[in-house]
Amino acid sequence: MFLRGVMRKGVVLDLCCGPGRHSVPLSSLGRIVSFDLSKHLLSALRKRSRGVGSYENVNLVEGHMKQLPFQSSFFDDVINLQTSFGYFSDEENERVLQEVSRVLKHRGVFVLEMANPGWILSNFQARSWDETRSFFVLEERCLDWKSKRMRSRWILIDKKAREINEMSVDTRLYDLSELKELLLRAGFEVVSVFGSPEKEEFDVTKSRRILLVAKKRLKRS
């Protein structure tokens, strides 16, 4: 797993954790705080993590990413994956990164993974299916390239409970240069950029993902 080679042992914030695709496997490394606004997804994570050997390391917290309910310099590392950033205006999105910087320790690692707008532009699909261990997921998309926003509607089918839930998401798509600038202003130093969790070299048109590894800089007095 890519993150195992990046994260340190300590307290890790899984920001916008969803149903726990990353929280559960990472819990073997130490304490994981799984943070999300969705009660439904946190409930799915709670069910998923039961019976796992490191279940006691998974701590669920419900809240809003624009105002994180944690002390400053609390976390050793923070992860934000699967395009779980960009839900708000540019000013509010920048505030989210400032909050991440606030709760992260000096030289702490921040891993941010986003969809690559260059790939989306040439490979856009209005609908797609996906399947996880617990869910079937149908995603419907509408792309507004002028505003650089993609509006998605997710239909989640719980395999075990046979329940259907819907979510709608409006996401601002940032290219690599924009993300680097945002991170710099929030107090981060980008140390690595990849095109996938397999550490493929990033290509602006061929890479489906933008995966950045950044470290919090020491503030100058």
Taking only the tens of pLDDT, the chain with its 221 residues reads 567 666 666 899 999 998 888 888 888 888 999 999 998 889 888 887 776 656 678 899 999 999 999 999 999 999 999 999 999 999 999 999 999 999 999 999 999 999 999 999 889 999 998 888 778 989 999 999 899 999 999 898 988 888 898 889 899 999 999 999 999 999 999 999 999 989 999 999 999 999 999 999 976 54
- The reported pLDDT for the residue numbered 53 is 54
Residue 139 contacts residue 152 (beta carbons within 8 Å): yes
Ranges in the chain annotated CATH 3.40.50.150: 2-116+174-216
| DSSP assignment string, 105-150 | EEEEEEEEEEE-HHHHHHH--SEEEEE-SSEEEEEEEEEETTTTEE
Check residue 1 and give its pLDDT: 55
| Interatomic CA distance for residues 120 and 183, integer angstroms | 22
CATH number among 3.30.565.60, 3.40.630.30, 3.90.1720.10, 3.40.50.150, domain 2-116+174-216:
3.40.50.150
pLDDT at residue 221, rounded to an integer:
46
Burial category of 59 from C-beta neighbours within 10 Å (exposed 0-12, middle 13-18, buried 19 and up): middle
